[in-house]
Amino acid sequence: MPDEIDYPPLTLPEPPLGDEGFFLRPPSMSDVEIVYRLCQDPSISRFTTIPHPYERVHAIEYVERAAADWDSGMGASFVIVSNSNEVIGTISVFRTANSGTAEIGYWVAADARGQGIASRAVRLVSRWSIQTMNLARLQLGTNRENFASQRVAEKAGFKYEGLLRNWREIRGERVDEVHFSLIPSDLE
Ligand SMILES: CC(C)(COP(=O)(O)OP(=O)(O)OC[C@H]1O[C@@H](n2cnc3c(N)ncnc32)[C@H](O)[C@@H]1OP(=O)(O)O)[C@@H](O)C(=O)NCCC(=O)NCCS
C-alpha cells in the first residue's frame, strides 16, 4: 500500500449512486448477517478474493475495513441494495501500491444476477471513483474462466488489456486473470 501518501477522507456521493432497481450505500454492522450468508455461494469464493471458508468474522472485518478505508481515503466500499431494501451485492474500489491506480471488485447475489446490476454498478462506481479519488487508472481483473465478469467489464466501458498468467492467489492456487482498465480519457 502507498503509505507514504496521505489521502483526504472520501466523502459519500450525493445523491447516492444508483439506477433502476438498486442503490449503493456504505456497509454497516447490520449487513453482517446477509453478507455472511450470501458469501457462502461457491461462485463468489471461486472468483473473488473473499476468505474461504467465509465466517461471520470475515463479514465483520469487511464492514470495519470499509469504514477505515473511507476514512483514510484508501478505498470506497458499497453494498448494493435492492428497491425492497435487501442487500444483493457489494462493490469496492481500493487504491493499489502503484500510486494513482486502484482496483475494482464486486459480486452480486445469485438471485439478482442477469439484470444488469453488476455492469451498471461498475459503470457508476468507476466513473465516480476516477473523479473523486483522482485516479489515473482503474483496473479490473477477472479469472480467465469468469466470462460473466468479463462481460460486465465490457458493458461498463472498460478496455481489454490482456491475460496475466498466475496473477493472483485464490484459495491457495495461482490463477490466470483477464485484465481490463478504465482511464480518464475513456470518459471524454
Ligand atoms: C459476475 C457477476 C458480478 C455478474 O453480475 P450480474 O449482475 O449478473 O451482471 P450483469 O447482469 O450486469 O451482466 C452479466 C453479463 O454476463 C453474461 N453472462 C452471464 N453468464 C455468462 C457466461 N457463462 N458466459 C458469458 N456471458 C455470461 C450475461 O448474459 C450478461 O451479459 P448481457 O447483458 O450482454 O447478456 C456475478 O455473476 C457474480 O457475482 N459472480 C460471482 C462473483 C464474481 O465473479 N465477481 C466478479 C469478480 S471479478
Asked if residue 4 has pLDDT above 90, the reply is: no
CB atoms within 10 A of CB 104: 25
| Cis previous bond, 16, omega within 30 | no
> Mean of the pLDDT values across residues 105-116?
98
pLDDT, tens digit (0-9, with 9 covering 90-100), for 114-130 = 999 999 999 999 999 99
Ligand 1: residue of 107, 142, 177, 178 to mutate (most ligand atoms within 8 A of CB) is: 107
Domains and CATH numbers, the chain: 18-187 (3.40.630.30)
Per-residue confidence (pLDDT) for residue 161, from 0 to 100: 98
Provide the β-strand partners of residue 142.
178
pLDDT over 60 (residue 7):
yes
Q: pLDDT (tens digit, 9 = 90+) per residue, 144-184?
A: 999 999 999 999 999 999 999 999 999 889 999 999 999 99
- 114 Cα: distance to centroid of ligand 1 (angstroms): 7
Q: Whose CA is nearest to atom 39 of ligand 1?
A: 107
